[in-house]
Amino acid sequence: MGTESRRRAPLLAAGLVALLALVVALAFVSLTQGSRDIAFADAMRALLTLQAGDTMDGTVTLELRVPRTILGILVGAALGLAGAVLQGVTRNPLADPGIMGINAGAALFVVVAIAWLGITHVQGYVWFGMAGALVATVIVYTIASMGREGATPVKLALAGVAVTAGFASVTSAVMVTRTDVLDQIRFWQVGSLAGRYEPVVLGVAPFLLLGTVAALACGRTLNGLALGEDTARGLGIDVRRARWATFAVVTVLAGAATAACGPIVFVGLVIPHVARFVCGPDYRWILPYSLALGPVVLLLADVVGRLVARPGEVQVGVLLCVLGAPAFIAVVRWGRLAEL
């Protein structure tokens, strides 16, 4: 935030614009490429007229690829931002939405929806996923808030681990005894942008957009919190309220993203590190960079997954697992894993 960061500002702004342009380019690739061969002209005709024209190519472009691409952008941005906010507020470089119990909560509710409510496809159980994420984070936050100091980062991490373990054991108990449920939930649990169409996108988009705007407004607060609790207070930040509010933002973002696509690893954990590596410690830059980098990674992985296994597809969650581990090791090994 000193003179150095001010000197770098034009450079960082240019980089951000370039990244956003890259998102647009990748979105275009995602709309025109896939496991089906569609002539460029046909795809463009469908996109420009928004008419499927009663052809399979038009239907695939408009009803499969458009929602998939929108979801890729929104979810990528949401996971990147959620990770950045969470790492900032907990000052834990390994924080990702998983440690807040979001994945475990969403998984448990989805399992319940499949096992006892007879809900058999993603359009139906996305709402249970969101409710589960919300319930889990409320429990985590409530437990962590007990005691005098309130929800400190350490207590949040511990409560998150405990709640995750508790939820996961119930989920496992159901899946071990109900193979039909296991068979179904595998499709959600692997993490995918495929098979989610207009109803899912329209359902989660408001949450993701709202969360994104709110997250972008957190920069100054996170900068303050990064200096430590006492300093933050000295700067006039209400630490408790700041923690509570940022947590709510993460819950909305990661909860909606996870409910729609299943637990997608790697994006929420690594993207903020890459952003920090580029931008330095200023969250007013880290947040927009995370917002742009998330969709870049998610769309790229999804497009690759669609092209490598034609006429089938590889789920983006699988691809990210394969690519994510080496990438994360590289970040840890060569990057300055910024002290938080």
Nearer to another protein, 211 or 262 (CB): 262
Q: Can residue 152 be called a binding residue for another protein (CB under 8 A)?
A: no
Residue 330 binds another protein, judged by CB under 8 A: no
Identify the residue among 2, 10, 236, 312 touching another protein (CB under 8 A).
312
Q: Which is nearer to another protein, 5 or 59 (CB)?
A: 59
CB-nearer residue toward another protein: 241 or 310: 310
60-89 residues near another protein, rule: CB under 8 A: 60, 63-65
Which of 187, 244, 277, 328 lies at the binding interface for another protein (CB under 8 A)? 187
Residue 306 touches another protein, criterion: CB under 8 A = yes
Q: Which of residues 2, 148, 179, 339 is near another protein by CB under 8 A?
A: 179
Position 315 contacts another protein (CB under 8 A): yes
- 121 scored as a contact of another protein (CB under 8 A): yes
- Using rule CB under 8 A, residue 314 touches another protein: yes
Instruction: Check binding of 47 to another protein (CB under 8 A).
Output: no
Structure-token pair, residue 44:
């463009």
Kindly report the CA angle at 14 between 12 and 16, in degrees rounded to 5? 70
Q: Please report whether residue 143 would count as binding another protein according to CB under 8 A.
A: no
Nearer Cβ to another protein, position 90 or 192? 192
Which residue number, 59 or 92, has a Cβ lying nearer to another protein? 59
Residue 127 near another protein by CB under 8 A:
no
Q: Report d(CA 248, CA 79) in Å as an integer.
A: 14
Quick check: 192 binds another protein (CB under 8 A)? Answer: yes
- As a three-state string, the secondary structure of the chain is CCHHHHHHHHHHHHHHHHHHHHHHHHHHHHHHCCCCCCCHHHHHHHHHHCCCCCCHHHHHHHHHHHHHHHHHHHHHHHHHHHHHHHHHHHCCCCCCHHHHCHHHHHHHHHHHHHHHCCCCCHHHHHHHHHHHHHHHHHHHHHHHHCCCCCCCHHHHHHHHHHHHHHHHHHHHHHHHHCHHHHHHHHHHHCCCCCCCCHHHHHHHHHHHHHHHHHHHCCHHHHHHHHCCHHHHHHCCCCHHHHHHHHHHHHHHHHHHHHHHHCCCCCHHHHHHHHHHHHHCCCHHHHHHHHHHHHHHHHHHHHHHHHHHCCCCCCCHHHHHHHHHHHHHHHHHHHCCCCCC
CB of 327 to another protein, least distance (A): 19
Which residue number, 226 or 319, has a Cβ lying nearer to another protein? 319
Q: Which one, of 172, 161, 160, 257, lies nearest residue 209 by Cα?
A: 257
Residue 182 in contact with residue 123, Cβ under 8 Å? no
The residue range among 132-140, 190-198, 272-280, 293-301 that interacts with another protein, by the rule CB under 8 A, is 190-198
Stretch that binds another protein, among 29-37, 98-106, 223-231, 239-247 (CB under 8 A): 29-37
Residue 30 interacting with another protein (CB under 8 A): no
Q: Which of 18, 50, 169, 180 binds another protein (CB under 8 A)?
A: 180
Q: What is the largest CA-CA distance in the chain?
A: 64
Torsion angle defined by CA atoms of residues 16, 17, 21 and 23, in that order, rounded to the nearest 10 degrees: 30
Decide: is 203 part of the binding site for another protein (CB under 8 A).
Answer: no
Minimum CB–partner distance for residue 88 and another protein (Å): 34
CB-wise, 146 or 173, nearer to another protein? 173
Cβ-based nearer residue to another protein, 39 or 56: 56
- Residues making contact with another protein (CB under 8 A): 34-36, 56, 59-60, 63-65, 121, 123, 179-180, 183, 186-187, 190, 192, 194-195, 197, 306, 310-315, 318
